Structures are given as C-alpha cells and as structure tokens.
Chains A and B, each alone.
Chain A
Amino acid sequence: MDTERYNRQLILKGFGEEAQQKLSKAKVLVIGAGGLGCPALQYLVASGVGKIGLVDGDVVSLSNLHRQLLFTTVDIGKLKVDIAAQRLNAINPNIKLETYSQFITQENALEIFSEYDFIIDGTDNFESRYLINDGCALLKKPLIFAAVSGYEGQLAVFNIESSGGEKTNYRDLFPIQPNKGEIPNCAENGILGVLPGIIGTMMAAEAIKLITGIGEPLINKILNYNLLNQQFYEIAITSSPSGTYKLPENENEFLKMNYSLKSTPNQVLEIDIKELENLQKKDSTLIIDVRETYEVPVLNPLDYKQIPMSVFQSFLNQDIEEENIVLLCQHGIRSLAAAEFLHEKYGDKKNIYSLKGGVIRWKNYFTSAS
C-alpha cells in the first residue's frame, strides 16, 4: 500500500489501514462525467478506490467548463472519457480505470453494472436516471443518486437494506418518469457551477462511507440541499404501497421497459429559422413562446404569443384557430414537448412545428426582429 499517499486518512481515527484496504478492493462505476461525475471521480480516484469505471459518450463543450473541472479549454471537442482518464491517471496512477465511451442504454447497462459494487448516477436526464434505477434494483446494486436544479441538490442512497429490513429505490419517491418538458434540465434552467461540485463531492463521500463502513450513509433518506441559504433538509423514505410501480424482474423485462419518451419524427416537425420566417409570412400562423416570463431575450408579444410551459396545460383547453402552430423556447427542448401536447390534441388537423435550437441558436434573428 502507498502509505505516504494515503497518510492523512490512514492516521484518521476510525479509518486507518483496514478502511484503506476496503477502498483498494472496491469497484465503483460513475455514470456521466459531468457536473456531478467530475468531482466524484476526482475524490474517489484520489482516495484510492481500487477500480473505477466511467461511462460517458459525450465530448467536452465550452458550456461544460464552468462546472466540470476535470476539463480545460483545450479539451473542447474531445471525448470526455479520454480526457478524464488522462487527468485521473495523473492524480493517482494506482487506480484501475475502465472507460466506456458510450451513453448508458438498456442494452449495455446490466453488463457494465455487473462489473461493479457501487453505482454512482451523475447523469442529466430522467431517461437515464430511471433506466439506472431499474437496472440497479434488478441487480441489487447499491445506487448513489444525486441530481441538481438551479441552486438546489438532492442526494440519496438506494437499494441497500436498512437494519429494519427496509429497502427503497428512486421509484418510491417518484414512481413515474416525468414527461419531457415537465421539469426543466440544467440547459434550460441554468446551474451555478459550484453546486454540482458540492453535491458530486458528497456522492464520493457516500461511496467511501458505504465501502469502508464508517458513519451513516443516506440509506432510505433523501437529503435536500439549498446553496443559497446553506440549508440541509433530510427526508426519510419508505417503500410505496405495493402496486404503485413495477420494476423489471429480469433482463428481458428490463429490455422491454420504455424509458425513451421521444416522439416519432413525423408527429412534430422541427424547423430552422428560414422555415419559421416563411411560416410567419402566412396568414394562419400562430407562434407561441413557451418560455417563462423572466427569460430573455423578450420577444415582441404581437409576433410571439407567450404561453409559459408552467401554464401550458391550462392553455391546452382553449381552441386554436390558426392552421400552423410554431412553438419555440430557449433551446428547443420545452417547445418540442409543448408541440407534442398540441399534436396529441389536434393530431394531423393542424401543422405543428418546433423551432430547433430555440431562441439561443437564432439569437441574431430574434434580437434584430424584436
């Protein structure tokens, strides 16, 4: 053992050589090298966890850098797992690092999970989160869950039986996967860079506690953290009444689960700014801005009817006269969800479009037009 490297935790009361040995034998999988995954990886690697797996199919982009501190400006466009592996290897070359340059899917999840003792979910979408939850529940793998929104974070440990015999998973909190557009993500809602730094570091702390048996991990608890007032609020989770949700019971059922809430492409047409401009010239076109009232740039209300996503459901009760309906939002994600709602209502009776990339991608057009 590299006693010099781990000296400060080896001399720690209640930790010592025994805990360090446990760390060196542990195998931890981190899914997502993003805001949560980066700090979790740095501390797990530095602490001496024996084997660490990293799953991410994405490349580094400029808007990652304010919170994903494993990456630097020169890494933009490169595969996250490659850069992460270089940096992590430099931090601690004794760790066996396994990288998977792919996103987690129903097809690859169970095989990858089975190689590890603990799974850390640092992904950024509900599709992956429900898939990971169900896969971990099926394989009885301890899952360290965290998610962030705005200035707040949630942290929990699932699939570990408490001393009272209770075992919970994410579906005991939220049994049904939210619809697209129901809950804003980081790209839509924004995120203060330091927040996932704090929460991701707490994920690493939970993993180290679980591996070494120290302290009280958040088993059957969800910790809510608010950065603005430094408040922590812990809620005890109990199992849902039976029948509230159904987990896949075998690999076949897992493969048949429907996590992808994407629409089929012929339902809603995603258009670019040129097509929007053409539609704008037609008489029977309604353009709806589904962004919230505080979002900028503000568009001219005469050209763009504002119906924020938060009140969109009640708007659906009204009837629209126009034949062409174009939805737009900041990045083109919520507008797609809104367009799907309208498509559900009108079917093929109306032409429904969503502006791909949203106001941000076509900023020049909107700021000069309004």
Chain B
Amino acid sequence: MEIELLSFGKIAEFITIKKLSIDGISDTDGLKKYLEDKFPQLSEIKYKLAVDKQIIQKNRIITDQATVAIMPPFSGG
C-alpha cells in the first residue's frame, strides 16, 4: 500500500520523500520502526505521528492512501 508523508521542522530536512510504499506494514508501530530504520536520525529526536490529522497515542491500523504527519517539538520564539 502507499501512504503520503508530511514531515515538519527538522524532520523535513532528512525525510524529504512525500510518498512511501509500505508493503507488509499495517500499523503505526510497524511504520515507526520502518521509518527509524530507514532514517536513523529520526530515532535520535522526539517526534509524534498523526494519521489523517489524528494524533497517534497508541498503535493504530494504517490504511492505503493515509496521510501520515511526522512532527517534532519546536522551542523557538
């Protein structure tokens, strides 16, 4: 299946792809692991996933064509 990726802040500097084929991955836990393997820098910072504009607080099924946002905290003011 294919998902759309939306990266914010510092994460957008190393995750520049906008679409991702994730055959064999069906949920957010699986996606996290996949992303952290593919982009090791992601495992070094805090971030939150949102699927179709809903924040992910526990493992959730991902469906084809879902939009997954990857958001780091910002501190600047």
The interface of chain A, by Cβ under 8 A from chain B, is 32, 34-37, 121-126, 129, 146-150, 152-154, 172-174, 176, 178, 182-186, 189, 191, 196, 222, 224, 226, 233-241, 244, 310-314
Contacts and interface: CB of A to CB of B under 8 A. Distances in A.
A149 B76 contact: yes
B17 interface: no
Q: Which 5 A-B pairs have the closest CB atoms?
A: A147-B74, A124-B77, A186-B76, A149-B74, A235-B50
25 contacts: A34-B77, A35-B77, A36-B77, A37-B77, A129-B75, A148-B74, A150-B9, A154-B74, A172-B55, A174-B46, A176-B46, A178-B45, A178-B46, A182-B45, A183-B46, A183-B73, A183-B74, A185-B75, A222-B71, A235-B53, A235-B71, A236-B55, A310-B13, A310-B14, A311-B41
B75 A147 contact: yes
A39 to B, nearest CB: 11
B62 interface: no
Contacts of A312: 44
B62 to A, nearest CB: 16
A148 B76 contact: yes
Given A184-B10, A233-B69, A314-B40, A173 B55 contact: yes
B31 interface: no
A313 B73 contact: no
Contacts of A196: 76-77
Interface string B52-66: 011101100000000
B8 to A, nearest CB: 6
Contact of B73 (A146, A172, A174, A239): A174
Interface residues of B, number: 27
A74 B64 CA distance: 58
Contacts of A152: 8-9, 74
A252 B64 CA distance: 49
Contacts, number: 111
Given A35-B76, A152-B74, A183-B75, 17 more contacts: A129-B75, A149-B9, A149-B10, A149-B75, A172-B57, A178-B45, A182-B44, A182-B46, A183-B10, A183-B45, A186-B77, A224-B8, A233-B69, A236-B53, A244-B57, A311-B40, A313-B43
Contacts of B55: 172-173, 222, 235-238
Contacts of A178: 45-46, 73, 75
B69 A310 contact: no
B38 interface: no
B3 interface: no
A174 B9 contact: no
B50 to A, nearest CB: 4
B18 interface: no
B72 interface: yes
Given A182-B45, A313-B44, A148 B77 contact: yes
Contacts of B33: none
A240 B10 contact: no
A313 B69 CA distance: 24
A321 B40 CA distance: 25
A129 B75 CA distance: 8
B6 A147 contact: no
A172 B74 CA distance: 15
Contacts of B74: 147-149, 152-154, 183
Contacts of B69: 224, 233, 235
A157 B72 CA distance: 17
B44 A147 contact: no
A15 B13 CA distance: 43
Contacts of A174: 46, 48, 73
